[in-house]
């Protein structure tokens, strides 16, 4: 079941989501956090950094795992998720460097890297609070709509729709990497609690589809209906077709 909380705008969504982090980290300082990229969580990271600067939240013992990373994009590239996390969060958050985990999309042996990341997740998991955005095609992490989904961390060929969507972050569509590493559905669905953020009218169709869908691999986010502790926080625009 997916609980839904509709708020006015992106700022309000960030504030609501941030309260979940605050209460989790107050109860469990060494919580395992599943983090996400994309434009949607940026206001949330801002909000968390604000709380951190007021000493209202402490990440010093938290262990963070990102969902995914592009393949063959240098870590120093503006759009690599390693760089995104540094710029949006880590450079001001007091997460220990050895507790900041992101798949290495430049690893020599990408299959081995998937195994390594999967093992790390099993060692530290389950994730206490998993943050998710949703692609306009219903992907979560980079688990793309397909006839089958993967349980574990895997290499994924990005769908045409995702390449097109994510080209807004690059100068040209040709620059968007063709492949990525993504955690699989198992680590997402075994998280104790999940917050799915959907903001803006370009998410209205997929939010409607998600809330009216059965469980189908063609809409990977629909598997969240199986989970017992998922909250979809969306703004009025994303909820406008519900």
**Could you give the residue numbers annotated as active site?**
68, 137, 139, 144
- Report the alpha-carbon distance of residue 53 to residue 94 in Å, rounded: 10
**Complex with ligand GLP: residue 133 or 145, whichever CB lies closer:** 133
**Complex with ligand GLP: residue 58 or 218, whichever CB lies closer:** 218
The least distance separating ligand GLP from the CB of residue 169, rounded to whole angstroms, comes to: 8
Three-state secondary structure of 173-240? HHHCCCEEEECCHHHHHCCCEEEEEECCHHHHHHHHHHHHCCCCCCCHHHHHHHCCCEEEEEECCCCC
**Complex with ligand GLP: residue 25 or 134, whichever CB lies closer:** 134
- Report the alpha-carbon distance of residue 232 to residue 9 in Å, rounded: 14
Cα dihedral across residues 29, 33, 36, 40: positive or negative: negative
* Bridge partners for 32 per DSSP: 63
**Complex with ligand GLP: residue 57 or 131, whichever CB lies closer:** 131
Q: Which residues contact ligand GLP by CB under 6 A? A: 36-40, 67-68, 133-135, 141-142, 162, 166
The least distance separating ligand GLP from the CB of residue 194, rounded to whole angstroms, comes to: 13
- Report the alpha-carbon distance of residue 104 to residue 106 in Å, rounded: 5
Instruction: Please name the residue that has the structure tokens 């460097």.
Output: 97
Query: Under DSSP, is residue 55 helix (H, G, I), strand (E, B) or coil?
Result: coil
The least distance separating ligand GLP from the CB of residue 142, rounded to whole angstroms, comes to: 5
The least distance separating ligand GLP from the CB of residue 228, rounded to whole angstroms, comes to: 22
């Amino acid at each position: 079941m997916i609980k839904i909380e509709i708020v006015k705008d992106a700022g309000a969504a960030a504030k609501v989501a941030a309260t979940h982090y605050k209460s989790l980290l107050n109860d469990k300082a060494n919580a395992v956090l599943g983090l996400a990229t994309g434009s949607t969580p940026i206001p949330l990271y801002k909000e968390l950094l604000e709380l951190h600067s007021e000493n209202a939240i402490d990440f010093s013992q938290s262990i963070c795992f990102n969902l995914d990373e592009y393949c063959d994009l240098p870590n120093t590239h503006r759009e690599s998720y390693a760089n995104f996390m540094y710029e949006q969060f880590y450079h001001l958050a007091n997460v220990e460097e050895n507790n900041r985990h992101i798949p290495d999309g430049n690893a020599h042996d990408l299959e081995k890297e998937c195994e390594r990341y999967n093992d790390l997740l099993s060692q530290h998991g389950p994730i206490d609070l998993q943050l998710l955005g949703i692609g306009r095609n219903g992907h979560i992490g980079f688990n793309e709509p397909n006839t089958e989904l993967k349980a574990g961390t895997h290499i994924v060929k990005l769908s045409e729709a995702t390449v097109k969507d994510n080209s807004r972050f690059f100068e040209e569509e040709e620059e968007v990497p063709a492949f990525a590493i993504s955690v699989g559905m198992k680590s997402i669905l075994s998280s104790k609690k999940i917050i799915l953020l959907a903001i803006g009218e370009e998410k209205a169709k997929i939010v409607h589809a998600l809330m009216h869908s059965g469980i189908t691999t063609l809409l990977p986010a629909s598997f969240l209906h199986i989970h017992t502790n998922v909250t979809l926080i969306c703004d009025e625009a994303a909820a406008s077709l519900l």
